[in-house]
Amino acid sequence: MGWAMDSTQVTDLAERALRMAHTLRGEAPDGLVFHADRETQFTSGQLYQVCQELGIDQPMGRTRVCFDNAMAESFWSTLKAEFYDRRKWKTRNAARQAVARWIETFYNRRRRHSPIGNQPPVDFENAYHQAATAADENAA
């Protein structure tokens, strides 16, 4: 997963998050989907071009239907309930650093996620790549 933070929600912010994910994880597997709502930063031509370049499908949810974007909504709910709403920071930069640490050290590496077999996303992704590599080796 890629992420980016800023004081405004603009297309460049969404692009930075997608490019971070691509940089960290490399080539996108076939059928990779970036779910988003219909905010202007996600419906822009700029983001469409980025998704095309990176090989990412970009479906849009229906207006005002949070269930179409359930995974993203779940992430925001978890971030707020388990972390953000329980703390206070002196500066915006301190909050940004704390959220980044929470995402990278806890949410992606230790927190278990029920939709992916009660394992952390990094473990799930590693198992996916190992299985794909084994399948490629068996096919050869």
Q: Do residues 43 and 95 both lie within one domain?
A: no
> Bigger pLDDT: 76 or 68?
76
Q: Do residues 47 and 21 both lie within one domain?
A: yes
Q: Do residues 118 and 98 both lie within one domain?
A: no
Model confidence pLDDT, tens digit, residues 3-17: 888 888 888 998 998
Report how many domains make up the chain.
3
Name 42's Cβ contacts closer than 8 Å, sequence gap at least 6: 14, 36, 58, 60
Q: Do residues 25 and 9 both lie within one domain?
A: yes
Q: Do residues 36 and 4 both lie within one domain?
A: yes
Side chain identity at 129, as an amino acid letter?
H
CA–CA dist 138, 80 (Å, integer): 44
Q: Do residues 71 and 59 both lie within one domain?
A: no
Q: Do residues 18 and 72 both lie within one domain?
A: no
Name 97's Cβ contacts closer than 8 Å, sequence gap at least 6: none
Range of the domain at 129: 112-139
Residue 72, classed as helix, strand or coil, is helix
Model confidence pLDDT, tens digit, residues 116-127: 999 998 899 889
* The predicted structure's pLDDT at residue 64: 61
